[in-house]
Structure 1
Amino acid sequence: MASDLLSVSIDFETSHLYFPTLVHWILGILFAVILLTRVVPFMAAVRRGERTLPIIGESRDNKRFFGTFALIIAYFYLMDVVGNLFPYTGYGFLFVSMAFVLLMSLLYLHKWTRKTLVIVAVNAVVAPALVWFVLAKLFTITLP
């Protein structure tokens, strides 16, 4: 009897499902709380005419809006293409991330001066190189 109290029995067939299920329920409850406390009152204010829906009816910068989508799609596509040229090195991530950061920064840059262009170029090289070094070399995480 005493040995039963001190022994632990684990069902390895289903034990790995416990925490994902718990996390899903917690996220679902938090989502419901957000809906009830934020979205429902906001939509009620929209119906009363006190607030407007964001984005709808507002002007937007189409060049930046669609440029961002195009750059993100190209980023993920080209990361695979370039990564296949240099398999298991992470150079696909490194080179494509450098180009992505440069182009995204230039897309959102308002004042094009020599100083800001140098800052953008240095950031486009240093930030992805630092991330690549930490992930690929220090933590030996395989990158595309």
Structure 2
Amino acid sequence: MESGLSSLLSVSIDFETSHLFFPRIIHWILAGLFALILVTKVAPFMAAVKRGERKLPIVGEARDSFRFFGTLVLIVAYFYLMAVVGNMFPYTGYGFLFVSMGFVLLMAFLYMHEWTKKAVITAVITAIVAPSLAWFVLAKLFKITLP
């Protein structure tokens, strides 16, 4: 009897796979929530589309192709150049700082509808201050290594 009780109260941990315990739980919770959303929101919406009561979003709508593809190009260039510039100044975070300044400025110019002096000055100031503040907080205060 005692051996059965001691086996019930003993715990063995497989340290090679123990770190996967909570991610598996989270994955199953997220999968369940996704299925719940599909059943409660997407299925009725698609039924309404099939009946002609609603339209699919995005399909057939006008798109600003210049801004759309410009954004994609800037994002790809941002990540690529951050590594390139970061290798020029290793372990300083200057790759993040300098490339983020350019990225924020170019994104502001890309989405700027009216090119007034005030709007351009605001974009330049934002492109300098926001990444500098983020760089200072992350790299200097919290000592997080940036590219």
Q: Fold conserved (TM > 0.5)?
A: yes
1:97 aligns with 2:74: no
What are the within-5 Å matches in structure 2 for residues 1-144 of structure 1? Answer: 10-144=13-147
Unaligned runs of 5+ in 2: 1-5
In the alignment of these two chains, the number of paired residues is: 144
What's the secondary structure of 1:28's corresponding residue? helix
Listed one character per residue, the Cα deviations across residues 116-136 of structure 1 (whole Å, up to 9, x for unaligned) are 111111111111111111111
Larger Rg: 2
TM-score, reference length from structure 2: 0.88
Structure 1 outlier segments of 4+, above 3 Å: 3-11
The share of aligned pairs that are identical, in percent, is 72
CA distance in 1 between partners of 2:53 and 2:67 (Å): 29
2:3 aligned partner: none
Please identify, of 39-48 and 99-108, the stretch whose mean Cα deviation from structure 2 is larger: 39-48
**TM superposition shift of 1:14:** 2.6
Rounded Cα–Cα distance in structure 1 between residues aligned with 2:77 and 2:30: 31
Letter in 1 for 2:79: F
